[in-house]
Chain A
Amino acid sequence: METIDLAAMGLRHLNRTLQSLDPGTNRRHWDVVNPRGSHAVAVGLSAPVEVTVRGSTGYYCAGMNQLATIRITGSVGPGVAENMMSGKVVVEGDASQSAGATGHGGLLVIKGNAASRCGISMKGIDIVVHGNVGHMSAFMAQAGTLVIAGDAGDALGDSIYEAQIFVRGSVRSLGADCIVKPVRPEHRALLAERLEQAGLDARPEDFRRYGSARKLYNFDVDNAGAY
């Protein structure tokens, strides 16, 4: 285990050090202390290392992550794991808005609550939120899975494409073209796998599934009121 004191060494030193790690490195375990709400902590990593950030961070923690596993023991600001490609990011606390925005792959686990726009424009990332999510979550979500063990706010899945949403609690309202969909065995199996990966003890059969009605995929004037 190697330790970087962010307050002492600075952000450039932290990111340069972690970004320079070779995929075959044996320096695989890193502790980052004193993050003190800093922005862009552990961004652009591309090696399968394990990084623990001890505390809370600001914007864009773990942004564009590839292969790395990044655990934040506190809470995170907007855009955690934005545009993540692969790997795993775990937030022990809460996440601000736009968590996992535009993520292409990997797994984002938020053990607390996520604010608005969680999973906005997601492109293949899997997101599991143990708590609640705010309004406009999964807005224009293209691919991937958003699992919400708590409640969802207004306009869930507005203008959703092919992403899948599972919600255990209540949904305040659905956005345009987002509908309740049947849960077939393959969906239940997929959900069970995500729950296990996220360390969430919940029963798949307690979740409902939401997705696209695909009515807005090609413009039709008769649907103008939905836009």
Chain B
Amino acid sequence: MTDDRSATGMISMAERNGTEAGVPRWQQEIRRAAETGIYKIRGGGAGRRSLFDDLLFLGASISRYPLEGYRESCGTAVTLGTRFASRPIELEIPITIAGMSFGALSGPAKEALGRGASAAGTSTTTGDGGMTPEERIHSSQLVYQLLPSRYGMNPDDLRKADAVEIVVGQGAKPGGGGMLLGQKISDRVAEMRTLPTGIDQRSACRHPDWTGPDDMEIKIMELREITGWEKPIFVKVGATRPYYDVALAVKAGADVVVIDGMEGGTAATQEVFIEHVGIPTLACIRPAVQALEDLGVHREIQLVVSGGVRNGADVAKILALGADAVSIGTAALIALGDNHPKWDSEYRNLGSSAGRYEDWHEGRDPAGITTQDPDLAARLDPIEGGRRVRNLLKVMTLEAQTIARACGHNQLHNLEPEDLCATSVEAAAMARVPLAGTDWIPGQDRS
């Protein structure tokens, strides 16, 4: 089993970690289940090797003409919501902050994300639990999520938002609802969600007032009527059947489609869900773009891709495959200081270590990010955190620009699949680009 999956590059985090104290991880997990009687819950996304590492750019040489790295401009701006909204979102960079709730994250962490995104000229996104005043004040462009739970949803905040994102699902748990365990339900979180303090809070997996795409079309129309047809309406789906889901989102009237691969993080979900439901981010991009192209709306309806985006190379690869923007979540938390080595001794006290800590659901994050403990949350300076998030966003953009110039492009969105090749058959098949050194694209008819 391990050998077969190694060949495809799909190796789980547990397998990569090998054994601990000579005991295979799968045996440890059986013992843990037998002792506790509950499945393993954790935060983060699928711990698989990134398939983006199997893609390489074909820099310019004789057959292509590069741009000067630090002298010639390379545009990064993107507009989201050009289809129906009268006030689309204008972003300076094509990297946004994904939805993460107040509740899952501390107040200072939400504020820092807003500060960082605003300083970098991009947007941030609320999450399950509603909009806090802090994140509205500190986010120049804020996307307000409409989730199945509707925690904190109200028309005043809807109108304060710069865009509305209907969350159908997310990559870490497509088809599943959310969960915020009782230890993170502080008085303020409980009040925002209209629930008793300290109980395990469940977010439904289905929206309460619509079921299929025909209903969703009417829901979108209602939201547009309430917001005066000003706000772009995003539809976010977890990556499973990207071609059909994107096509149905388009049919339902979305301005922007967000597709989140299985590497996308979560605050708390069953590990069996995180690791075994959904498809990798790389695998969903080309089918999603294909759906937009088949409907004649590629670039008219923007595609945002998220899930496991770590650096500017990942950004450039996703844009080259046809997306208009990317979203980052976990990377932004790492930038804030999550899993920082300076907290290693405290992570070890929690049975983990710096770089491996993913028990975000427990609310004991030493870095003060995935917690509602006021003492821990106070450890995060939102101004310094905002500076770090801004820096990450800027560096990722510079990295993507560097690659684009090397490929001869004066705009990030001019990157294209022809700029890429793959070092594995699997990545070549998913990205629909040739295996390096060949003209062979697996799955495509060569006759």
Contact = CB atoms under 8 A, between A and B. Distances in A.
Interface of A: 11-12, 15-16, 19, 39-40, 43-44, 46, 58-60, 63-64, 66, 78-79, 82-83, 85, 97-98, 101-102, 104, 117, 120-121, 123-124, 139-140, 142-143, 159, 161-162, 217-219, 221-222, 224
* Majority-rule SS of A interface residues: loop
Contacts of B229: 12
Contacts of A218: 182, 198-200
Contacts of A40: 218, 221-222, 225
Given A64-B154, A120-B208, A142-B195, 17 more contacts: A40-B218, A43-B225, A44-B227, A58-B218, A60-B218, A64-B155, A64-B158, A78-B215, A82-B208, A82-B209, A83-B150, A83-B154, A120-B209, A162-B196, A218-B198, A221-B37, A224-B37
Contacts of A143: 194
B210 to A, nearest CB: 7
A115 B229 CA distance: 30
Contacts of B227: 44
Contacts of B38: 219, 221
Most B CB within 10 A of own CB, among A11, A12, A46, A142: A142
Given A40-B218, A59-B218, A60-B222, A102 B209 contact: yes
Contact of B195 (A46, A58, A159, A161): A161
Contact of A123 (B194, B226, B228): B194
Interface in B202-244: 202, 204, 208-210, 215, 218-219, 221-222, 225-229
Contacts of A46: 155
A59 B215 contact: yes
B10 interface: no
| Interface size of B as a range | 20 to 34
B208 A121 contact: yes
A120 B199 CA distance: 19
B153 interface: yes
Contacts of B194: 104, 123-124, 142-143
B149 interface: yes
Nearest to B228: A16
A118 to B, nearest CB: 11
A217 B179 CA distance: 12
7 A-B pairs closest in CB distance: A221-B37, A44-B226, A79-B209, A102-B150, A217-B199, A40-B222, A64-B155
Nearest to B33: A221
Contacts of B198: 218
A91 to B, nearest CB: 15
A23 B198 CA distance: 38
Contact of A217 (B150, B200, B209, B219): B200
Given A58-B218, A123-B194, A83 B202 contact: no
B225 A12 contact: yes
Contacts of A98: 208-209
A140 B198 CA distance: 17
B204 A64 contact: no
A161 B218 contact: no
Given A78-B209, A79-B210, A102-B208, A15 B155 contact: no
A161 B228 CA distance: 34
A170 B215 CA distance: 31
A120 B210 CA distance: 12
9 contacts: A12-B229, A19-B226, A44-B227, A60-B209, A63-B222, A83-B150, A101-B150, A139-B208, A142-B194
A161 B196 contact: yes
B313 to A, nearest CB: 41
Contacts of A139: 208
B36 to A, nearest CB: 8
B192 to A, nearest CB: 11
A15 B225 contact: yes
B211 to A, nearest CB: 9
B23 to A, nearest CB: 23
A121 B222 contact: no
B202 A140 contact: yes
Interface in B151-200: 153-155, 158, 182, 193-196, 198-200
